[in-house]
Every structure is written in C-alpha cells, then in structure tokens.
C-alpha cells in the first residue's frame, strides 16, 4: 500500500469531482447503483466468506448479524443510494455576499471539502453510504473498513469503481485501503498534505485514536451519554412514556438514554411508576439509596451503582437513576458526565426549560421530547454523515452540508488596496 500515492491520486481526482455539476454526479451515483444491482450474487458470495470467517473467529450473533448482507438488505442499500441522488446538492450555493466600500464584490460560495478519509467498523453498508455521500458532494474519499468485512468491502469497492469508470470518472475518486494492517490507519491519519477531514465511524477507542494520532482535522462524535431530567412540574405519566421511549425504543444507538435524573419532590411517586413500565422491557436499573428502593418497589431489577456507571454509554437495556435536589444539581450532574450529545428536561416550568436549554452544553437539548430525535433523518437533513459531539465545523447530526466548505470570491475592476 503506497499511502502517499493514494493521497495524491485522491487529491487529483478531487479537482475533477469539484468541477462536476449535480447532474453529472447523479449519473455517476446511478451508474454505481446499476453496477451493484448487476453483481448481487458476487457481493453476497463475498459476504458469505466474511460470515464464515466471522463464525470461525467466534464473533457474536449480534456482530454476525451486523455483517450479514442478503438480497433484501442489499436492495435496501441500493435504494438508499438512489435516495442520495434525490437529495439537493449543497455545492455551488452562494452563502452570502456583498459589495465592500472599496468596490470589491465579495461572495462566499459553497465548495467540496476536497478529500475525506473515513475509518469505520463492521457494517458493509457504510461503504456504499459514505461513497455515495462523498460523491454527491464532489469529494474524493479514502476508506478503511473493519477487517471482518474485508471480502464484502473489496467486492463493493470493485463495483463502485466500475460504476465511476462507466460514468467517465476516475476510479481514484473512491479508494479503499485493502490491506487490513493497522499501520495504514496510522499513515492515513498523517496524510494532511492530501486529506482535508477524517470521519471515524465506530466506538470510543477509534475516536480517541484519531484524536491522538491525526494531523488532519477529525470529526469526533457518535458517543452519547444522554440524560433526562424529570423536573417536579413534569407530567409524570407522560414522563414515563418519554423515558421509556428514550431508553427502550432502540437501546443500541448513541441517542438512547443512559441516566434519568429525578427531582426529589416527585421521586417517590415517579420512580415506582417508571419501574413498572421499564420492568416489562427488562431494563436493569443502576441506582443507590431511595432511588434503588423505589425502582425496586415498582418491580425493576436494580444493581448497586458502581464507580464509572454515570460515565458509561450503556448501548443496552441498562439505565442509571439518581434523585437530585433541584435543577441546579441536575445541571451540575449533566455537566460532569455528559458527552455533549443529547440532553432533555421534562417540565412544565418555562423558567426551568429556558435555564436548561441555556445552561446545558450539548449538541441537542430537548424540552419535553425524547433524546431519540437526534438523528439526521429525524432532523430532516436527508442523510446523516455522522453525529458530531465536538463543536467545530458541525455539531450534532451532520448532513451533506458538513461535507462542504466555502471559498471567498472577490471580483474587482482592477482593484488595489489603498
């Protein structure tokens, strides 16, 4: 693997991509979709090898299910790619503009970032997803997927590159690091001469690695330690439904609830009610003192709080519970433990709602709504590149716009600076 060459090729391809109009980019996306449709059996055969190797290596059933492609799933992935064709193209938008006092006509025009690097784990659909979003926004991309999906990804990338070539574009617009040796991840993270942005899609360890090793700007995120504060004025029945939704609807994702904080004035009334509902979904509580007692009264199984529980992203049917004296204590707790993803208050007090949205620092802050809404699809962004929990460039769900930057364009009539 000659990473310098991959970088230089990607940069060169990015110049060509930046000059395509939307129709040309959509044609290339369609060419890839057709190519995938025409090679379903080759893709599924390669995926079969990954599944076989995964079984031999003792991967869990849950992980094997994430790896698995079948005709239905592949059709879904191709449909998602065609959905990207239908999305509006952010490139070319004039963000703002003006004429300066000196006569310079200045505007900011939205342009592709250039070259994106992405490092991801497990699911082969990410390969198509990222390729499609980058192509739509005129970016070249260098991808590195998990070794568990290497056979699937190599066939997918072959079809993607064939689609690019059918559309008259260079195969180097979408490249894949074929050698699973981790040293190439390290090399990718240092290619700042060629790569403009790194998007890790995976667990906390991957994000930390990128943060520490990359000389390229990294969009970190995806880790959600999410809280809901049930204030004393909350509608308690509705609060039960909201906590249940945030915890149970899809516990494996980053916007699922991790900790419920309950105002002391309503804790004795609320916690047993909540426990009755959560027990039906087999949620395990993590609490101490009265919180533990009252949850157990409602029939929930509750473990004693361990050190670190409040800093845990559960991604499973586990939930911390804590009784707090007031809004101040709730905010202080959240500030200490949040990953700045999604936080919610349930209240009928306008004053407390205002304070919460103002004082809690997170990508998404909710009043009387589930943390589960933090999602590009839900937010109407059309696509989700990632969910950022850092504060630069993009925060929260990132749509196509987050794969662009802008340039300032100044037009003068032979203008010099006085």
The residues of the shown chain that bind its own copies, judged by CB under 8 A, are 15, 18-19, 98, 100, 102, 104, 106, 111, 113-114, 192, 196-197, 211-212, 215, 217-219, 235, 238-239, 241-242, 245-246, 249, 335, 346, 353, 357-359, 361-370, 372-374, 378-380, 390-393, 395-397, 405-417
Q: Which is nearer to its own copies, 10 or 36 (CB)?
A: 10
Nearer to its own copies, 362 or 400 (CB): 362
CB neighbour list of residue 165: distance below 8 Å, 6 or more residues apart: 171
Output the six-digit token pair for 297: 């009264």
CB of 245 to its own copies, least distance (A): 4
For the bound state, the minimum distance from the C-beta of residue 25 to its own copies, rounded and expressed in Å, comes to 15
Nearer to its own copies, 3 or 219 (CB): 219
CB of 50 to its own copies, least distance (A): 32
Q: What is the DSSP string of 94-108?
A: EEEEEE-TTS-EEEE
Task: Write down the least CB distance from residue 39 to its own copies, Å.
Answer: 35
Structure tokens at 7: 């970088």
Question: Vertex 259, ends 254 and 262: CA angle to 5°?
Answer: 145
Q: How many CB atoms lie within 10 A of CB 74?
A: 21
SS3 call for 162: helix
Whichever of 46 and 226 has its CB closer to its own copies, that residue is: 226
Minimum CB distance to its own copies smaller for 45 or for 411: 411
* Cβ–Cβ < 8 Å for 346, 239: yes
Q: How far is the CB of 261 from its own copies (least distance, A)?
A: 18
Nearest distance from residue 267's CB to its own copies, in Å?
19
Task: Closer to its own copies by CB, 112 or 124: give it.
Answer: 112
Which single residue is written with the structure tokens 């519970």?
321
Q: What is the DSSP letter of 124?
A: T
Half-sphere exposure of 205 (CA within 13 A, CB side): 1
Tell me the closest approach of the beta carbon of residue 33 to its own copies, in angstroms.
27
Say what angle helices 22-37 and 40-56 make with each other, to 10 degrees: 70
**Which residue has tokens 């999906």?**
149
Tokens encoding 87: 């999305």
> Look-up: residue for tokens 């490092």?
119
Residue 74 vs 362, nearer CB to its own copies: 362
Q: Which lies closer to its own copies via its Cβ, residue 64 or residue 236? A: 236
Strand-pair partners of 285: 302, 319
The helix or strand, by DSSP H or E, that contains position 42, with its residue range, turns out to be: helix 40-56
Cβ-Cβ contacts under 8 Å for 360 (sequence gap 6 or more): 331, 334, 335, 338, 343, 345
Residue with tokens 């980019």: 25
- Residue 406 neighbours by CB under 8 Å, 6+ apart: 95, 108, 109, 110, 111
Give the pair of three-digit tokens for residue 115.
């070259």
Q: Which residues pair with 142 in a beta bridge?
A: 117, 175
Q: How far is the CB of 346 from its own copies (least distance, A)?
A: 8
CB of residue 191 vs its own copies: minimum separation in angstroms? 12
In angstroms, what is the minimal distance from the CB of 416 to its own copies? 4
Which residue, 2 or 212, is less far from its own copies as judged by CB?
212
Nearer to its own copies, 157 or 242 (CB): 242
């Amino acid at each position: 693997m000659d990473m310098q060459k991959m970088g230089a090729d990607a940069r060169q391809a990015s110049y060509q991509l930046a000059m395509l109009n939307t129709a040309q980019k959509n044609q290339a996306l369609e060419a890839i979709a057709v190519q995938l449709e025409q090679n379903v059996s080759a893709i599924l055969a390669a995926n079969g090898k990954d599944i076989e190797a995964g079984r031999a290596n003792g991967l869990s059933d849950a992980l094997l299910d994430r790896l698995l492609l079948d005709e239905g799933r592949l059709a879904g992935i191709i449909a998602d790619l065609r959905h990207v064709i239908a999305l509006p193209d952010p490139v070319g938008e004039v963000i703002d503009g003006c004429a300066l006092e000196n006569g310079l006509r200045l505007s900011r025009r939205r342009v592709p970032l250039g070259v994106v690097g992405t490092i991801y784990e497990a699911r082969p659909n990410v390969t198509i997803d990222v390729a499609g979003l980058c192509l739509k926004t005129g970016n070249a991309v260098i991808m590195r997927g998990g070794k568990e999906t290497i056979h699937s990804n190599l066939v997918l990338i072959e079809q993607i590159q064939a689609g690019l070539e059918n559309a008259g574009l260079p195969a180097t617009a979408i490249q894949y690091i074929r050698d699973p040796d981790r040293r190439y991840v390290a090399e990718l993270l240092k290619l700042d001469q060629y790569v403009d942005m790194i998007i890790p899609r995976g667990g906390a360890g991957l994000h930390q690695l990128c943060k520490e090793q990359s000389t390229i700007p990294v969009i970190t995120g995806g880790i959600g330690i999410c809280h809901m504060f049930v204030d004393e004025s909350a509608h308690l029945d509705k609060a039960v439904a909201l906590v249940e939704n945030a915890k149970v609807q899809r516990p494996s994702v980053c916007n699922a609830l991790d900790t419920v904080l309950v105002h002391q004035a309503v804790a004795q009334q609320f916690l047993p009610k909540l426990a009755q509902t959560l027990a039906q979904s087999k949620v395990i509580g993590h609490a101490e003192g009265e919180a533990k007692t009252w949850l157990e009264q409602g029939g929930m199984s509750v473990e004693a709080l361990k050190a670190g529980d409040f800093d845990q992203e559960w991604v499973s049917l586990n939930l911390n519970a804590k009784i707090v004296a007031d809004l101040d204590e709730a905010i202080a707790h959240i500030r200490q433990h949040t990953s700045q993803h999604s936080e919610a208050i349930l209240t009928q007090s306008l004053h407390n709602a205002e304070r919460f949205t103002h004082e809690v620092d997170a990508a998404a802050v909710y009043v009387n709504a589930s943390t589960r809404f933090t999602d590009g699809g839900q937010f109407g962004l059309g696509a989700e590149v990632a969910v950022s929990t850092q504060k630069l460039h993009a925060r929260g769900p990132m749509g196509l716009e987050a794969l662009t930057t802008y340039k300032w364009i100044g037009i003068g009539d032979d203008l010099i600076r006085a």
